[in-house]
Amino acid sequence: AEKLARVTILATGGTIAGSGATSTTTVGYTAATVGVERLIAAVPELAKVADVKGEQVFQIASENMSNDHWLKLAKRVNTLLAQQDVDGIVITHGTDTLEETAYFLDLTVKSKKPVVLVGAMRPGTALSADGPINLYNAVLLAASQEAVGKGVLVAMNDQIHAARDVTKTNTSTPDSFKTPELGMLGYIQGNKPYFYHLPARKNTVDTEFDISKLEALPQVDIVYGYANVNPVALNALVGAGAKGIIHAGVGDGSLASSVKTGLVAARKQGVLIVRSSRVGQGIVARNGEANDDELDFVASDTLNPQKARILLMLALTKTSDTKQIQRMFYTY
């Protein structure tokens, strides 16, 4: 018989490990209650596709995910993937910040072996819970040769997405994870992954980031744009020591005059400013809605604000030169 791939499941909590009072409880349940061994035992089919081991790394709802959790997780993933006896990793995760953790790992994992993030939109106790099939698909994907060298992947709702581009698009439906416009990578169907696209941006072994010796990440915060915007939030975050600010601007990253004044002042104090957009799709054009050359700002390209925040934190561990950081935003 062919030897099965060895896949470690790192469990972090979320709704995939959640439970509710009744089978029709799809909101108002409790996330992060079920341990990894029970998650694995609930899907005996896993044993057919991989030699599976479980490890409980955290037990949290993903709204509580932090920089510290990311550093711990990335270090654990790198340690495991350096081992001969680990062929791939699945990370069970809450869906609220799953896209952020996926992108953080996409930039910091130093291996071509598959890393697949998975979650669920319904707790395990619900009718038509999506966790078990999502977990099965994720393990199947992590055990496959097809997933090698494709960066960190997200497996949800029978689909395969790239960490950089996937986003949560719906508060509660099982088809919430999408890659609008840039496109998902493929499907999982009939016990097989099918790929149609490859991630074009550099990831994993091809990035310049190394978190192996880091104990903390620089403080980077997000400021939201809206009509009648109040600059108080921006000024407070800068006052609280932010090293970088992501401006989630309206439209193509446009800046209201009241906020622009604060951003210019912050930049003069050495704070890195990235113009992103709250729109969720499209390129934020450099020197478009603002003269980035003159202001010494960075444009986020297509990264949404929460992912721009991750790239800026990692960029600041290497340099504070805006030209270098802009290059990174066009590379990753």
Ligand X SMILES: NC(=O)C[C@H](N)C(=O)O
Reply yes or no on whether 95 is catalytic. yes
Show the site string, 71-100: x = touches ligand X by CB under 6 A, - = not. Answer: -----------------------xxx----
* Of residues 119 and 199, the one with the C-beta less far from ligand X: 119
Over the range 165-196, which residues count as b (16 or more CB within 10 Å of their CB) and which as e? bbbbeeeeebebbbbeeeebbbbbeeeebeee
Show the site string, 219-258: x = touches ligand X by CB under 6 A, - = not. Answer: ----------------------------------------
Half-sphere exposure of 100 (CA within 13 A, CB side): 23
Please state the closest distance from residue 178 (CB atom) to ligand X, in A: 15
- The separation between CA 6 and the C-alpha centre of its own chain, rounded to angstroms, equals 24
- At residue 167, the 3 state secondary structure works out as strand
* Of residues 158 and 296, the one with the C-beta less far from ligand X: 158
Residue count at the site for ligand X (CB under 6 A)? 11
* Of residues 109 and 121, the one with the C-beta less far from ligand X: 121
* Nearest C-alpha neighbor of 249 from the set 227, 221, 219, 218: 227
By CB under 6 A, residue 14 contacts ligand X:
yes
Question: Cβ of 327: how many Cβ atoms within 10 Å?
Answer: 14
Please state the closest distance from residue 129 (CB atom) to ligand X, in A: 11
Catalytic residue among 8, 12, 26, 95: 95
Looking at 10, 61, 250, 259, which residue binds ligand X (CB under 6 A)? Answer: 61
**β-bridge partners, 89:** 8, 115
Rounded to whole angstroms, how far apart are CA atoms 65 and 94? 9
Residue nearest to ligand X (CB): 94
* Of residues 247 and 307, the one with the C-beta less far from ligand X: 307
By CB under 6 A, residue 125 contacts ligand X:
no
DSSP 277-311: ESS-SS-B-TTSSS-HHHHT-EE-BT--HHHHHHH
By CB under 6 A, residue 119 contacts ligand X:
yes
Enter the DSSP assignment of 123.
Answer: -
Catalytic residue among 15, 97, 101, 204: 15
Please state the closest distance from residue 17 (CB atom) to ligand X, in A: 9
H runs (alpha helix) in the chain = 36-41, 46-49, 67-81, 98-108, 131-142, 232-239, 257-268, 292-295, 305-316, 322-331
Looking at 34, 105, 121, 234, which residue binds ligand X (CB under 6 A)? Answer: 121
* Of residues 61 and 308, the one with the C-beta less far from ligand X: 61
Task: Say if residues 138 and 193 touch (Cβ distance below 8 Å).
Answer: no
Task: Say if residues 80 and 104 touch (Cβ distance below 8 Å).
Answer: no
* Of residues 23 and 145, the one with the C-beta less far from ligand X: 23
Name every residue whose Cβ is closer than 8 Å to that of residue 273 and which is 6 or more positions away in sequence: 244, 245, 247, 263, 266, 267, 295, 296, 297, 298
Please state the closest distance from residue 222 (CB atom) to ligand X, in A: 18
Please state the closest distance from residue 13 (CB atom) to ligand X, in A: 6
Reply yes or no on whether 92 is catalytic. no
Looking at 8, 26, 62, 137, which residue binds ligand X (CB under 6 A)? Answer: 62
Number of helices (H), then strands (E), in the chain: 10, 14
Please state the closest distance from residue 85 (CB atom) to ligand X, in A: 30
Binding residues for substrate, by number, are 62, 95-96
Residues near ligand X (CB under 6 A) are: 14-15, 31, 61-63, 94-96, 119, 121
Residue positions annotated with a catalytic role: 15, 95
Binding residues, by number, are 62, 95-96
